[in-house]
Amino acid sequence: MKQDLDQATCEFYEIVNNLSSFINLEYEPVGKWFEQYNCIRHQGDIEVEEDVESEESLEDEDEFEETPEYLKFLETLDPKMWRDQDHYKILGLDHLRHKASQHQIKKAYKQKVLKHHPDKKKDSTAKDRDYFTCMTKAFEILSDPVKRCAYDSVDHLFEENVPPVNENSKKNFYKVFKPVFEANARWSINKNVPKLGDDNSNFEDVNKFYSFWYDFDSWREFSYLDEESKDSAADREERRWIDKQNKAARAKRKKEEMARIRQLVDNAYACDPRIQKFKQEEKRKKEEEKLKRKEAARLREEEIMRKQEEARLAKEKQEEEERKKIEAQKKEKEQQRKMKQKERKTFRSTIKDFEYFAQDEVERVNNMEKLEHLIESMSLSEIQNLNESIQKSDSQKESVKKIIFDKLENKTTDTTTTNTNTTEDIKKEAPKSIEKVNHETSIPVVKSGPVEWVDDEIKLLIKGSKLIAMGTRERWEVIANFIEEHSRGKYKRTGKECLAKTKEMQNPDNKFREEINKKAYEKAIGAKKEEVAIKEKPSERYISPGEQFLAEQGSNLGAWTPDEQKILEQALKTYPATLTDRWDKIAECLPTRSKKDCIMRYKELVEIIQAKKKAQQKVTQK
């Protein structure tokens, strides 16, 4: 039998040795049967855990010993004054206070009951019963979380003083403010209260700390200090009134509490050396940015100054080039003037040698004037060509005379032809323009309106028709504006009225032409009578009224005649603006006008042209 058992044992061990190693598997049991088993198994574990926790928290603490001072304190307790009593001290938890757990409160209460219950004493007195009543009230308040919260909110041992802003607070900032903030952190609803930190804290941590305390949310409420209790009210109205008074008192104390917290944070912010350091760093950064901006502005200004200097130098260079160019032109003109004077001197000496080709004194004077006028009106090249022709003629009197007088005749013919063509073109312009308008438009001849045309207005109409050429856009509106502009707003006509009046004047059957012819005839007769009167007078040099007025006043204020206007226009064409003595020469051509009169007339003509342009612009804008 024993051999069989040993053989079986050997086989068993052999089988076990041949087995592989165990596999470790992680699993999570589930199911309603497991939950039921787990609930039954761990029933009562909460109390065990609380006991363990309490034992761990009190393992280093000895049991509270009742000293003579404590027993004397118990004798002073009055159940009627329970609201003003220290409940933690009654239960012997004065050293823990708000940090005491529920287990510690229950344990302390049980110890007090076992020692001070009236039934445990043979000779119990009224004071023993009063103490037991106060002890029961203290346990009632501290065991209830709501009532304990209300009692803790008004803990009389809590220091509500705020450190002031002074030198001591600034020098010992962390020592002064750190315990105050830690004590006040117990009132925070949010338990993740940031720490005050130290000198090595960065800006983000400091900013987070002050942001938390400036937005501090406290759970502290002051219902424990209510003067009246709703339970003592006789009816519903009285309960409402008591509740309203209690809420108002709580709100007031809450407001004072938040003001105290805000004052604490403000004082800490004012004394915090890190804030001063951050402000100095920020100020330094701002100064650096300011210096950078100033440097950038300085560089921009230097760039602008550099560009301005380059522009100035370029402008000076350009002005210098223009000045040199002008000086070169002046030198060239001066050279031409000298050459012209030299050629004129040669010409004058030549004709002087031939005694101006005259037989008597009268002819000599006439030839002098003609030849002088010829030489003044000729250009340098023409004078040079004339002198060369004279030299080629072997200085024979007849040949020279023929060359000079042929030139004089050609020059006179060209000037007359030019003036005649200009005058004829001006005279023909108005009738042609009116005829063209008559062909292009089908507007009938309009009789004069209720407002008759006066002579000055008709003169302005004729003048505007001559100045404003055909083909101008909205020509008759431009002429109407021209009349209004030159009459200074006295005469106002529309384009249709101007066109109608023009057609009326053009109509051969109209009486207007008869009146014009009559006036022209009377003017011609008057001029003829004056001519006859002048011829009947003794032979003397005739001085016109204009010359007489010019001699007396230095200026002729009379109206410009057509002949004077023609001479002025021809003189303006003959003497260019580049001449320095241009107006002196123009005034010499007009014996009845001074240099000032010629300049004033020229300005008037410029104003007339500008007024024409303005009138055209007004019509275009409409």
Half-sphere exposure of 568 (CA within 13 A, CB side): 20
Name 542's Cβ contacts closer than 8 Å, sequence gap at least 6.
Answer: 534
- Binned at pLDDT 50, 70 and 90, residue 209 comes out as very high
The better pLDDT of the pair 559, 574 is held by 574
The amino acid that residue 168 corresponds to is N
Residue 56 has pLDDT above 50, yes or no: no
The length of the chain in residues reads 622
Residue 86 has pLDDT above 90, yes or no: no
The string of pLDDT tens digits covering residues 118-167 is 887 777 778 778 888 888 989 998 999 888 888 888 888 888 889 999 99
Inter-residue contact 470 to 433 (CB < 8 Å): yes
Instruction: Measure the CA–CA gap between 408 and 287, rounded to whole angstroms.
Output: 89
Residue 535 has pLDDT above 60, yes or no: no
- Binned at pLDDT 50, 70 and 90, residue 51 comes out as very low
Query: What integer pLDDT is reported at residue 428 of this predicted model?
Result: 54
Does the model's pTM come out above 0.75? no
The string of pLDDT tens digits covering residues 311-365 is 999 999 999 999 999 999 988 888 888 888 888 888 788 777 777 777 777 777 7
Inter-residue contact 161 to 261 (CB < 8 Å): no
Average pLDDT over residues 383-404: 76
- Binned at pLDDT 50, 70 and 90, residue 398 comes out as confident
The better pLDDT of the pair 449, 551 is held by 551
Query: What integer pLDDT is reported at residue 512 of this predicted model?
Result: 61
Angle between the N-to-C axes of helices 455-467 and 595-621, in degrees from 0 to 180, rounded to the nearest 10: 80
Instruction: Measure the CA–CA gap between 603 and 455, rounded to whole angstroms.
Output: 25
Q: What is the mean pLDDT of the chain?
A: 78
Name 214's Cβ contacts closer than 8 Å, sequence gap at least 6.
Answer: 262, 265
Between the ranges 23-27, 405-409, 584-588, where is the mean pLDDT highest?
584-588
Domains, the chain, ranges and CATH? 45-153 (1.10.287.110), 167-271 (no CATH), 285-418 (no CATH), 443-621 (1.10.10.60)
Q: Could you say which DSSP state residue 526 is in?
A: H
The string of pLDDT tens digits covering residues 227-238 is 877 777 788 888
Angle between the N-to-C axes of helices 68-75 and 126-143, in degrees from 0 to 180, rounded to the nearest 10: 100
By C-alpha distance, which of 533, 587, 593, 530 is closest to 560? 593
Residue 436 structure tokens:
């063209």
- Binned at pLDDT 50, 70 and 90, residue 576 comes out as confident
Instruction: Measure the CA–CA gap between 485 and 463, rounded to whole angstroms.
Output: 13
- Helix count and strand count (H, E) for the chain: 24, 0
Residue 153 structure tokens:
């909110």
Instruction: Provide the percentage of residues in the chain whose pLDDT is more than 70.
Output: 77
Instruction: Measure the CA–CA gap between 431 and 473, rounded to whole angstroms.
Output: 19
The amino acid that residue 404 corresponds to is I
Residue 554 phi, psi (nearest 5): 85, 0
Helix (H, G, I), strand (E, B) or coil at 218: strand
- Binned at pLDDT 50, 70 and 90, residue 434 comes out as very low
Inter-residue contact 266 to 182 (CB < 8 Å): no
Helix (H, G, I), strand (E, B) or coil at 552: helix
Residue 508 has pLDDT above 70, yes or no: no
Query: What integer pLDDT is reported at residue 309 of this predicted model?
Result: 93
By C-alpha distance, which of 159, 116, 120, 121 is closest to 138? 116
Query: What integer pLDDT is reported at residue 548 of this predicted model?
Result: 56
Residue 246 has pLDDT above 50, yes or no: yes
Residue 223 has pLDDT above 80, yes or no: yes
Quick count: other Cβ atoms within 10 Å of Cβ 181? 17
The better pLDDT of the pair 417, 85 is held by 85
